[in-house]
Structure 1
Amino acid sequence: MPARTSEQIREWCDRSSVPGERRELSDTTATLIASGYLTPGGRAIVVRRISTGRPMPTLPNGFGDLRRLQRAIVQLEHQLASPMVPGVVAAVLRNRLNGLQRRREDARKQIVTAKGVMASSTRAIRRERRENIYLEIDERERLFSGLLCTPTPNANASSYVRRAGTAAIDRIAGVVGQVAARSGNPQAEQWADQLLSPARDSQAGAPKSANFVDGYETLLFVAGHYYDRIVNNPAWRSDHFEVQRTQVNLHAELAEIAADVIALRAVRIDLDGAKRNGGFDRSFAAEIDRRETALRPVWTELIDRVQALGEVAHVVESAAMELQVLAEYNRAMTLDDRIDALIARSGDREMSVDNAKRLTEQVRSGEEQLRIYRDVLQGNIARISPAVPRELPARYEPS
């Protein structure tokens, strides 16, 4: 399939949905996206550690589970804030909330303390600081906060409670209270499991898609998805693209794209709040509208940078197929040499000249195709980073 266009990516962001089933982002990708929440110095250290092969903190179940854990905590806190929840149900929910918060705190310790990953002794810390690869404690705290927001497909699937509505919540809570009064807490726990379990799609055979909170998270996921496809492809790590690997630091590009998208979202929230609170003043509202109009191209620029990553992924995957064909040709040439050696030892020294010429032409054709791929990749790499560095203004929003 051809690479996705900027218009298609924009449509995904408008719908906050990417068609098809999508795997979760790798730990490295999630860490680079979360580095967008750090200061520029902290983000540079994260990129430097990953670029040089230094370890970074991870979790056994991946950062997607951490995002879902945070989502469950927020949902429980929202439910407990409702004054309509009976006391017995609130006790069950509060007990579940405490357990989830303990799990989150354990995850935070694994990221922040990072035993065996970050330097712990005084001498090791000084050495890493001299090498500018030591991530300070406060930056690790910010990194953990960013990892709580890891772009995860379908992390915000509504539960039965949120889907049912307030009236249904009251009825379900009353039933839970009756069951708990008759049978004790185990039955109430069982009902709470049903109350908080994710909703299932009632339409069998409906096309699956990866849904996200908003367009910003969608764009972050698409950028991370393309990054994973590039760096995990053997062709990108081969000698054929050694020059291209030195021309662009994909780790830094993903981190910078994430930082810009996160800043864009934060400013948009502030901008909406300012317009909501002071929109009654026409001159103030008009000034906000003028700033929005002037700064909308920034969103287009971010989409184009992500689309350039997609082009690189497409070219690298095409080159991988070409490399596979070349490998088969090389094996065929080796086999031909072995056959010729056997014929020579048997006394027949006639060589298969035509076959050798055919294989040579095919190999040369494959090498020419790889040169074309390298030229195309060179142009895509130039599009990833903007020619003129743009300092993000105080406020802007996407179109």
Structure 2
Amino acid sequence: MSSPAPVRPSPEHDPGDLLAAYLPGSFLHRSARGTLLADGVHCTVPSGPDGPGGPGDAAAVALAEAAAAGHPDPMVVGAIGFAPDAPRSLHVPALVRRASPDTAGARPVRVPEPPGQDWAVRHVPAPEVYADGVRTALGMIGEGRLEKVVLARALELTSPTPVPVRDLLTRLALADPAAYAFAADVTAPGDPAPRTLLGASPELLVSREGDTVVANPLAGSIPRSADPAENRARIAALRASAKDQAEHALVADRVVEVLRGLCAEVDAPVEPEVIGTATMWHLSSRITGRIADRSVSALHLAHALHPTPAVCGVPVPAARAAIGAIEPADRGYYSGMTGWVDADGDGEWVVAIRSAEVCDRTVRVFAGAGIVAGSDPDAEVAETRAKFRTLLRAIGVEAVA
């Protein structure tokens, strides 16, 4: 039997109030477990070099030191980039406020209007160049060097005035209440203003609560339609697609393999289900486990799982090399992870997709698509275009190519 989950501080705040209280520099994480808003810096988590447990070991040391110093509620929050040498921004906040996931009776939140100004848009790379990259990847797959690789492209949008970060986060959070809404400060040396990673991710990398571990990989996607009949047809096509089912199996099998090395029990569905966001339909598998060693925290689990084939590929080393060779821009925090872990090892980490990095007047948005045998370059361009819509709608920009 699983041991009971440790007692948490009782939520004391209204979820809408916490969203309204967010300011750039704060950390916000909203999920079915509730809303968390963290402010101030008690101490930072060193960036490396990592030990065998990766950033989970450094976080555990920081949490123990914060508790010894009298911190009443130590927790590590922040974000980690995609690449092995990518930047990460992790710290123990000075103050953490929580709100219950139960929104019954919660005060309504005003939906701010989009900025409404003219935006300059730069494609990185152009859609036709991205399609050529897909063809290159398909050649590697045909040669047997890869089974899958996820290729991303970016849009860099520049506004005449500074971007209202809190308004953008609020619009993202309210547009899709089921998504994992997040914001983390990722300011780097040389930035002209604070830099914020924010988004509304549909994908849980991993959570731990007591002995219970949950991962929910997504792979295999199709754009959502405004027409209900067309949506039913698209869902049926996604379920019947051998290409999408094979792509999803690569991801789910890898997650199960990693968790079996860390859990006493692992349970995975035989077939994926279809879940929807405001812009996409995805094949989804909710995989559960029971932790074998309580010293293995949520961040240890996230480090072990990252990157899943949902954002990288199979095999991982070859896929990472292909991404580095084909993608013209460094991903930064896109397709990395963001979340939190507490002193008991509980926590929640989500995949940083449907996300953007905002700095002063610039918003940098990424979207990716999984390339496997049978992928069509034009269809992959269309998939990335559909995935951009989550952020573009929040910004108030019409769809771009």
TM-score normalized with structure 1 length:
0.21
More helix as a share of residues? 1
TM-score normalized with structure 2 length:
0.21
More strand as a share of residues? 2
Question: Larger Cα Rg: Structure 1 or Structure 2?
Answer: 1
